[in-house]
Structure formats: structure tokens, C-alpha cells
């Protein structure tokens, strides 16, 4: 990570603006970068992340597409084979299921199965939805599919800083990168240097240092982990919070080292847990500790059901700061303690209310 911005050039930006700025900069810098996907050029501009770019770079480099996710992914791969650097945007990760054949069978494999003669510098952006009745088909965090397949990289930045730096790194990467965003993160503000920088693949960040338990929060769940850390602090439990940032390649070493130090690990997934990122992390930690003492480990994530729309069930579907804190607390105290922190106003989740 090249982090040498002078403090003077650091502004507070939203996650939305960070993505837009990175895209803008990469497009300005390299005429081979182009941006397309359903609705990228419409008045809402993918919730603002593509705002102004069609005016600046023209409709050949920035364009909306037909409702044809499969062919547009295939076309993106073709463009990449021709030396362009396409960014293909999906407003929901759920829709990427239409493009699995191209991603799994072509994008991930072209470099290898063509013996290195081809490569696919492609960025696929997709957004995970949450709350306000998104429901079963507008809420999925299916990134484990992409972690599973060799040949793809996967990144899920949680801060504006990382959003910009990861987007820049993803665009410059010579390989397909699945760029995972979360709708609720779009409201997040944070310091973002004005200069160019890249947050490179394969390095996790220790967001908060701690000694009693390690919390790994993926994508939006990083936010809930940071809040959980505050709840835990108030009852004398010191949590270390790690943001993996890149899910493939995954920085297992940083997580293993932390879990070894604290002796306890909670991974909070922004998706289902079965064969999920948390499963991968727990398995990797387990393997790393084979033959010696292993940390106490727990996964959290979506309830093992499709996402319900009604708020009464949705609340139980997702982990949140308080349930994460409770889980960590139990791990620290070696069993169910029945402690659940009272909700604090300063640690409330942002809820998002429609329309969409």
C-alpha cells in the first residue's frame, strides 16, 4: 500500500465519491479504461459512483448496456483480451449469477488455459443490498463463489480510503478483479488522499489493536465489528479488529498471528457462512495451528435462510454490533453469559429507507 499522501492533500470523502474519484483518475490516466453496465450513464449514475463520467469521457468509453449480463460480461472479457481495461458495473451482486459462466469458465481461466498467451484485465463491480425490504434477490453477498475459483481476485473495501485505493489497484491489475461494494457503506465518510495510491492485493489491515479477541469483519460487517469493539471496550474486553480488504488473495497470516495472540477469533461474514469467507478463514487458522493449541473460533453471518423482507425478521437475519459483541464476550468468558449490550445511540447502524 503506497500511503505517502501528505496530510494537506487529505479530504473527507464519502465511499461513493472515493469510487467515483478513483474511476475518474484511472480513466484520465489511461485511455484504455472504460466503464459500462446497466444504468451507469443514467441520471442516478449508480448511486452517484459514475456521475459525470459520460460527460467527461464520452459515450464510447462510458455507456449503459442492454439487459444482457451474460453477453456484456463476455464482451468485457473480449475487450480485455484486446488490451482495454473495462470496468463492468452491476447494481446488485445477485445479478452476477447471470454472468457466472463467463466469469468462472472464461475470465478466471483464460490466462492459464491459453498458457499465458492471454490475460483479462477486467474489473467487475457489484453492490450488496441491505435493509428496507430488499429481500431474497437483492441482498446476497456471494463473494465466496469468486474466492473459490482460481484466477479471480476479490476485494471488498470498507472505507472510502480503501475504496479509492483498491479501485485504482483493481483497474491496474492485469487480471479479473471482483470489486464488492455494499450499499450501506456508501454513506460512510472518511479521509481520502487527493493523490493517486493503490491498496494492493493480499494485505489485511488491523483497524483496531486489541488483546482479548480478534474480530474479522468482511465488507459492511467491518463497520459492525468496529461498533462491537466499542461495546466490548465498555465491559473491559479488548478486541482487535481486522479488515481483510482483499478476500483473494487473502492475508491469512495477519489473521492467524492475531488469533494466536488473542486466542479467540470471530469472523463476521457479510453473507452466508457455509463454505463462506469465514469458513475459509477458520479452516486456514485451524490448519495453521495443527498440532498445537488452536484459538477458540466462531463464525457469524447471514442466517441460513433467504433474506426476508419484513424488518422483524431482517433484524435477526443479519449479525450486528451487539450480537457480535455478545458472541465475542461469550468466547472470552468461555461460554454463554447471556450478555447483550443495550443499544447505544452513538453505535447505531445506519438504516436505509427506500425508495431503493
- Nearest distance, CB of residue 337 and other proteins, angstroms: 21
291, 338, 354, 355: which one contacts a second copy (CB under 8 A)?
A: 291
The Cα–Cα gap between 308 and 304 comes to: 11
Q: Does 101 bind other proteins (CB under 8 A)?
A: yes
- Nearest distance, CB of residue 85 and other proteins, angstroms: 10
Q: Does 145 bind a second copy (CB under 8 A)?
A: yes
38, 89, 128, 142: which one contacts ligand TPP (CB under 6 A)?
A: 38
Q: Does 71 bind other proteins (CB under 8 A)?
A: yes
Neighbours of 80 (CB within 10 A): 24
In sequence order, what are the residues at sequence separation of 6 or more whose Cβ sits closer than 8 angstroms to the Cβ of residue 53? 20, 23, 24, 27, 35, 40, 45, 62
Q: Does 108 bind a second copy (CB under 8 A)?
A: yes
Task: Fill in the DSSP letter of residue 187.
Answer: G
The Cα–Cα gap between 275 and 298 comes to: 14
Residues annotated as part of the active site: 69, 138
The Cα–Cα gap between 225 and 216 comes to: 7
Q: Does 136 bind other proteins (CB under 8 A)?
A: yes
To the nearest 10°, report the CA torsion of 342, 346, 348, 354: 150
Whether the upstream peptide bond of residue 249 has omega within 30° of 0, thus cis, is: yes
Cell of residue 54, nine digits? 459520460
In sequence order, what are the residues at sequence separation of 6 or more whose Cβ sits closer than 8 angstroms to the Cβ of residue 346? none
324 touches, from ligand TPP, other proteins, a second copy, none (C-beta below 5 to 8 Å by class): none
User: Could you say which residues in the range 242-261 bind a second copy, by CB under 8 A?
Assistant: 248
- Nearest distance, CB of residue 39 and ligand TPP, angstroms: 7
42, 55, 68, 112: which one contacts a second copy (CB under 8 A)?
A: 112
276 touches, from ligand TPP, other proteins, a second copy, none (C-beta below 5 to 8 Å by class): a second copy
Site residues (vs ligand TPP, CB under 6 A): 38, 67, 69, 91, 95, 98
Amino acid at each position: 500500500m503506497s500511503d505517502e499522501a501528505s496530510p494537506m492533500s487529505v479530504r473527507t470523502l464519502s465511499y461513493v465519491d472515493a469510487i467515483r474519484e478513483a474511476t475518474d483518475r484511472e480513466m484520465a490516466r489511461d485511455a484504455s479504461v472504460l466503464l459500462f453496465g446497466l444504468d451507469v450513464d443514467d441520471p442516478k449514475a449508480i448511486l452517484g459512483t459514475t456521475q459525470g463520467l459520460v460527460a467527461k469521457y464520452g459515450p464510447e468509453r462510458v455507456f449503459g448496456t442492454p439487459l444482457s449480463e451474460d453477453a456484456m460480461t463476455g464482451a468485457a472479457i473480449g475487450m480485455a483480451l484486446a488490451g482495454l481495461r473495462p470496468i463492468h458495473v452491476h447494481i446488485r451482486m445477485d445479478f452476477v449469477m447471470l454472468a457466472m459462466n463467463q466469469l468462472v469458465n472464461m475470465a478466471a481461466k483464460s490466462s492459464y488455459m491459453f498458457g499465458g498467451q492471454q490475460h483479462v484485465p477486467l474489473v467487475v463491480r457489484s453492490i450488496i443490498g441491505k435493509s428496507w425490504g430488499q429481500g431474497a434477490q437483492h441482498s446476497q453477498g456471494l463473494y465466496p463463489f469468486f474466492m473459490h475459483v482460481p484466477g479471480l481476485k476479490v476485494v471488498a473495501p470498507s472505507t472510502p480510503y480503501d475504496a479509492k485505493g483498491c479501485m485504482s489497484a483493481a483497474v491496474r491489475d492485469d487480471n479479473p478483479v471482483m470489486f464488492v461494494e455494499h450499499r450501506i457503506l456508501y454513506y460512510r465518510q472518511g479521509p481520502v488522499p487527493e493523490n493517486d495510491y493503490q491498496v494492493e492485493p493480499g494485505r489485511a489491515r488491523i483497524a483496531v489493536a486489541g488483546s482479548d479477541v480478534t474480530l474479522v469483519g468482511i465488507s459492511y460487517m467491518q463497520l459492525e465489528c468496529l461498533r462491537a469493539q466499542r461495546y466490548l471496550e465498555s465491559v473491559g474486553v479488548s478486541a482487535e479488529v481486522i479488515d481483510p480488504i482483499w478476500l483473494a488473495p487473502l492475508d491469512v497470516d495477519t489473521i492467524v498471528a492475531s488469533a494466536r495472540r488473542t486466542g479467540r477469533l470471530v469472523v463476521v461474514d457479510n453473507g452466508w457462512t457455509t463454505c463462506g469467507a469465514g469458513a475459509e478463514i477458520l479452516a486456514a487458522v485451524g490448519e495453521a495451528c495443527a498440532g498445537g493449541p488452536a484459538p477458540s473460533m466462531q463464525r457469524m453471518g447471514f442466517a441460513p435462510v433467504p433474506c426476508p423482507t419484513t424488518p422483524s425478521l431482517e433484524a435477526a437475519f443479519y449479525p450486528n454490533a451487539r450480537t457480535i459483541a455478545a458472541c465475542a464476550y461469550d468466547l472470552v468468558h468461555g461460554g454463554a453469559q447471556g450478555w447483550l449490550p443495550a443499544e447505544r445511540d452513538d453505535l447505531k447502524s445506519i438504516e436505509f429507507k427506500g425508495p431503493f
